[in-house]
Amino acid sequence: MARDLRGKVAIVTGAARGIGLSIAKELADRGAVIASADVIPFEEWKNSLSNPHSSHFVDITSNESCLTLVESVLRNHGKIDLLVNNAGIVRRSPAHSMSESDFTTVVDVNLNGTFRMCRAAYSALKQNSGSIVNIGSTSGQTAVKNSVGYSASKAAVMFMSKVLAYEWAADGIRVNAVGPTIVRSDMTASLFNDEQYMSEKLASIPLGRVASQEDVAKTVAFLFSDDAKMITGQVIFIDGGVTIH
């Protein structure tokens, strides 16, 4: 595999397992040094990346925790070139019965947490003409039942990426987002066990399959590569055609 990210230092949030772990591994395979970060206890991590990579705690609902993560990565690795805002949660229920707490918690993690990390890393990224990829979702582009908080937060993340790209272009920072359709992970395990849901979901995907974690990871890596150096403010949907219409 081309080592096109050699010398780059990348923060990946939500990297203990799932999509975040796949992204961390893909970037590491391409030569980047990975600062993996997550809120879950280290003993529960499935991420086994070791030296020269590093592992960190972060609670993206806390501005102080985000700043502490950035400071720790700078101490460990001397710089930050890349940021992947992957950490996120979902709460599912019909909108009329969704609690205010569930709605606001999802928005605080997915949207506000992504903003906190972008803002915390801004100065370090500016020094190196860095790049950010935020993880959105097709749920933020096409309406999905029983996910109003998640859908609203992901729509906002994707549009925020455009605003940040516009504001920070003068600083040499590129900001993009990816929007996967459903991906098998701990977050979606219950959905994959629901035969009716999955039948309807697959019927909505023109290519007839769900996205893999590797599909997402490789797209993120492309956006960080020199092949994408003129791409900013864009959302790439990894969806098999869900958002065609």
State the Cα angle at 87 between 18 and 181, rounded to 5°: 60
CB 19 within 8 A of CB 238: no
Catalytic pick from 122, 150, 166, 197? 150
Q: What are the structure tokens assigned to 9, written together? A: 């230092």
Q: CA–CA separation, 236 vs 243, rounded Å?
A: 10
Locate tokens 């600062």: which residue? 35
Q: 175: helix, coil or strand?
A: strand
Q: How far is CA 99 from the centre of its chain?
A: 25
150 tagged catalytic: yes
- Residues designated catalytic: 150
